[in-house]
Chains A and B, each alone.
Chain A
Amino acid sequence: MSATLQPEAPVRYAAHQHAAYRTGPRLLRVAEVRALTTEVRHVVLVDPDGGHLAPYEPGAHVVLTTDPGGPGEKRNAYSLTDDGFNPRRYAISVLRREQGSAWVHGLAAGDLVEVEGPRSAFAPRHDQRHALLVAGGIGVTPVLSHARAIVRWGGSAEVLYSYRPGHAAHLDDLRALAEREDVTLHEATTVAATAALLADRLADQPLGTHAYACGPVPLLETYVDAARAAGWPEHRVHLERFTAPELDPGVPFTATLASTGERLAVPPGTSLLEALLATGRAVPNLCRQGVCGECEVPVRRGAVEHRDLVLSDAAKECGDRMLACVSRAARADDDIEVDL
């Protein structure tokens, strides 16, 4: 490769060489659709060529593009229900709630779906000595993933499942896991019973336990309050709401280029860096996460909301520079003049 290398053309190879580490948007094929309850469908996705899929941490989710090209096009996050170990399939269980999930319910075997991820946002603590897993309704999906991973690696767990009778997705799976000595399942079917069970189980966990909950907001509030009342330190109390938080897209603003007077519109979800690069300006950049400091640009005028981890508080206060990849105007529709 050295013989053909030109000084102006740096050679950079793809980071991951094996297909099992692909997590970017790609098409997967629906292998199976099965009704778990009247409102929940289990959808199994596979690589169209029968290949590997990226492993994932328990509690991870994938992002599906629903109704692509249609009026309801949207990106929805769904928790994966398997343990994430060397997978050949991605399984999700989807509650019919709005347009996106209704579209998923309409899928049939053989359909192709655009999938991004998996992404990890609700991972277990690697050194947990025991886990208390709390599921409310369709919040059972990441909890099942955690329980399966714990069983695979020889850990122990107590699972608390709160559901409406007749609407309990994966109850059979949890009951099957609970036949093992190291997994206990507690079931609750009313709000009062759930609260009592939470208080009871949170008060009786051995040292080194971590607790994880996924479910509707009232259940999560009860869980957090009960954990606090039982003296749990915050770092042991993990939770996930049904939808993973997206990166805050920020406010729309404009950037004026001091050299030319040109004004760039920067809509929400687009960074100043992207807007500058789109005009053909070669702004050096690397991490695009506000960590490396590479894309620092001088600021002449305008209040900046600094969202980076590089500039010191004093530098942020001074306001004469910003990191174009993450920082934005402080207020919607403000103008920032950059010295470029």
Chain B
Amino acid sequence: MTTVEIAATGIAATGIAATEVPLGLPHWPAVPEPVDPTAATVLVLALGGHPRTAEVAGAWVREAEGRVPTRLVVADDLATGHDDVVAALDAVRIGVRIMVVGPQHDVLLTLARCRAHGASGAELRAFVVDAEGPTDLPVYCAHCRATHRLHGEPGGTAVCTGCARLLEIHPHHSAARGSFLASDTGTEPDDQVAA
């Protein structure tokens, strides 16, 4: 866990329209979005140890730091990084753009945390390093009424670590919760493995 403070040296450029983090099913940009030229400050949250995360976060910081006060918070995982992320969200002022990069699981839950702290879509940008195919996702199991880290993809299945049911992961995502909805397939996990 490291926190890096970077001083401002410039003023925001203009000209590029802001794009919102899409609601509904997350729609991930294929390449990292540029820093919003209307930002007054930038907070970059780099989550997890994937090399691409460090690369994207570094590029964002280099792009932003020449123009506006920029801060980078690196969190190796959500649990150990929790306090630093919360402290950073408490410290930022309106005018900030929060740019989150990492694996889907961490990014989705962190975006939800940002929203709970009052951030809106216009203030959030995200890039994930595992956009394609099954990956670890935050999944809300309707039966045990809790969010778990499960490996799968929307439309696919995963075994619930809470209630051991074989779940169908719905293509239904809540930005407020950060999770996908899942419910019982009615099949035993073992049946599926055998099939």
Q: Are B40 and A230 in touch, CB under 8 angstroms?
A: yes
Stretch of B58-66, B89-97, B180-188 with 4 or more beta carbons under 8 angstroms from chain A: B89-97
For the complex, is A191 an interface residue (Cβ under 8 Å from B)? no
Shortest C-beta distance, A79 to chain B (Å), equals 25
Interface residue tally on B, bucketed by range: 20 to 34
List chain A residues, Cβ under 8 A from B18. 233
User: From DSSP, what is the main secondary structure of chain A's interface residues?
Assistant: loop
For the complex, is A20 an interface residue (Cβ under 8 Å from B)? no
- Partner pick for B95 among A129, A208, A231, A235, CB 8 A cutoff: A231
- Partner pick for A209 among B39, B41, B97, B118, CB 8 A cutoff: B118
Shortest C-beta distance, B13 to chain A (Å), equals 13
For the complex, is B120 an interface residue (Cβ under 8 Å from A)? yes
For the complex, is B174 an interface residue (Cβ under 8 Å from A)? no
Shortest C-beta distance, B19 to chain A (Å), equals 12
List chain A residues, Cβ under 8 A from B94. 202, 205-207, 209, 230-232, 236
Known interface pairs A203-B40, A207-B89. Does A232 touch B95 (Cβ–Cβ under 8 Å)?
Answer: yes
Q: How far is B65's CA from A127's CA once the two chains are assembled, in angstroms?
A: 31
For the complex, is B123 an interface residue (Cβ under 8 Å from A)? yes
For the complex, is B142 an interface residue (Cβ under 8 Å from A)? no
List chain B residues, Cβ under 8 A from A233. 18, 120, 122-123
Segment 203-237 of A: residues with Cβ below 8 Å from B: 203-209, 228, 230-236
Residue of A nearest to B123 (CB): A233
Known interface pairs A230-B94, A231-B94, A231-B96. Does A207 touch B119 (Cβ–Cβ under 8 Å)?
Answer: yes
List chain B residues, Cβ under 8 A from A208. 117-119
A interface residues with partner B (beta carbon < 8 Å): 127-129, 202-209, 228, 230-236
* Given contact pairs A203-B95, A207-B89, a sample of 20 additional A-B residue pairs in the complex whose CB atoms are under 8 Å apart: A127-B118, A202-B94, A202-B95, A203-B40, A205-B93, A207-B90, A207-B92, A207-B93, A207-B94, A207-B118, A207-B123, A208-B118, A209-B94, A228-B38, A230-B40, A231-B40, A231-B96, A233-B18, A233-B120, A233-B123
17 A-B pairs whose Cβ atoms sit less than 8 Å apart in the complex: A129-B117, A202-B95, A203-B95, A206-B90, A206-B94, A206-B118, A207-B89, A207-B93, A207-B94, A208-B119, A230-B95, A231-B12, A231-B38, A232-B95, A233-B123, A235-B120, A235-B122
